[in-house]
Amino acid sequence: MTPARLRNFPVSWFAMVMGLSGFSIAWRLAESALDFPALSSYLCVLSGAVFLLLAVAYALKFLRYRDAAVAEFRHPVKMSFVATFSVALVLLAAALLDVAPALSRYIWVFGASIHFLITLYVIATWLSASTFQIQHMNPAWFIPVVGNIIVPIAGVHHASAEISWFFFSVGVVFWLVLMTIIFYRVIFHDPLPGKLLPTLFILIAPPAIGFVAYVALVGQLDVFGRILYYVGLFLTLLLLTQIHRFARLPFALSWWAYSFPMAAITSATVRMYQLTSLTGFAVIAYILLVLLTVVIAFLFARTAVAVARQEICVEDN
């Protein structure tokens, strides 16, 4: 990697690991519930390998071009993507639960701790800085704060349930707050820039993965769990009706924002089938998992092409 490309290596690369880890979790659930082929272990290895590769690259950037890395932490839009690193770790821990429980525990403790610190930093910055404008607001703001909702998926296996309830509570409450602001921003202000338009899919993730986390905490399907799932399903259908808007966009790394939310609603649907035994959920889960597989394969291939063409890791216009 050339010095210029390393300097412009964005922290948002870790959204790729979020998508791959979410894909692994969805596939693991489908293996037990829908008799899918046993591929989740291989997907875990792929997710871990990609994470290590990206972590080494970003560590080199931080060592050689610390000013560029620090600038991302302070940027009103890019600072939200810093949390993709810690969320990727928490998701990796969840993906490794059945494959390597001890390793999963270490990764979860590290990832959850780092994410807690990032959450404090981001919210403190929101409250103290005077540079934020409504145009800076986009669904990626969910990642550092609402991302806490993911922690219980592996957390219920590695620590006291009270710790998982702490993270879940923070994520749910701030989801409602930020969701309100985002709808205000997209309805009454200028449209999102093209590069950030794919982040609208992030709207699916909090209720969908929140459902998976909530069921892990309470151990059953109840009224609140149903509300979370059906809100996630509705948002998925809503955004799929807008697919023509997304299809016209030029490729950017932000396209990986499609992956984890789709994995989240797929996992949630498989869990709904496990909890209800209703055939309709199995049918939806099959459709979503096939769609998710196509999306992941396309994103992987398109990202490889973009890297080869040096379309990524370039200075922002």
State the pLDDT at residue 171.
97
Q: What is the Cα–Cα distance from 272 to 265, expressed in whole angstroms?
A: 10
State the pLDDT at residue 222.
96
Cβ–Cβ < 8 Å for 207, 225:
no
For 21, 137, 223, 237, 299, the CA distances from 240, given in Å and listed in that order, are 22, 22, 26, 5, 17
Q: What is the Cα–Cα distance from 47 to 24, expressed in whole angstroms?
A: 8
For 8, 41, 81, 244, 295, the CA distances from 232, given in Å and listed in that order, are 34, 27, 22, 20, 18
Q: What residues does each domain of the chain span?
A: 3-308
Could you list the pLDDT tens digit for every one of the 317 residues in the chain?
A: 677 788 989 999 999 999 999 999 999 999 989 988 889 999 999 999 999 999 999 999 999 999 999 999 998 889 999 999 999 999 999 999 999 999 999 999 999 999 999 999 999 999 987 788 898 899 999 999 999 999 999 999 999 999 999 999 999 999 999 999 999 999 999 888 888 899 999 999 999 999 999 999 999 999 999 999 999 999 999 999 988 888 888 888 889 999 999 999 999 999 999 999 999 999 999 999 999 999 999 999 999 999 888 888 787 75
- Give, as one character, the DSSP assignment of residue 150: G
State the pLDDT at residue 310.
85
State the pLDDT at residue 312.
85
Helix axes 40-64, 15-33, angle to 10 degrees: 170
Q: Which CATH superfamily is domain 3-308 in?
A: Voltage-dependent anion channel (1.50.10.150)
State the pLDDT at residue 4.
77
Whole-model pTM: value is 0.95
219: left (phi over 0), alpha (psi -120 to 50) or beta: left
State the pLDDT at residue 131.
81
Handedness of CA 17, 149, 95, 271 (dihedral sign): negative
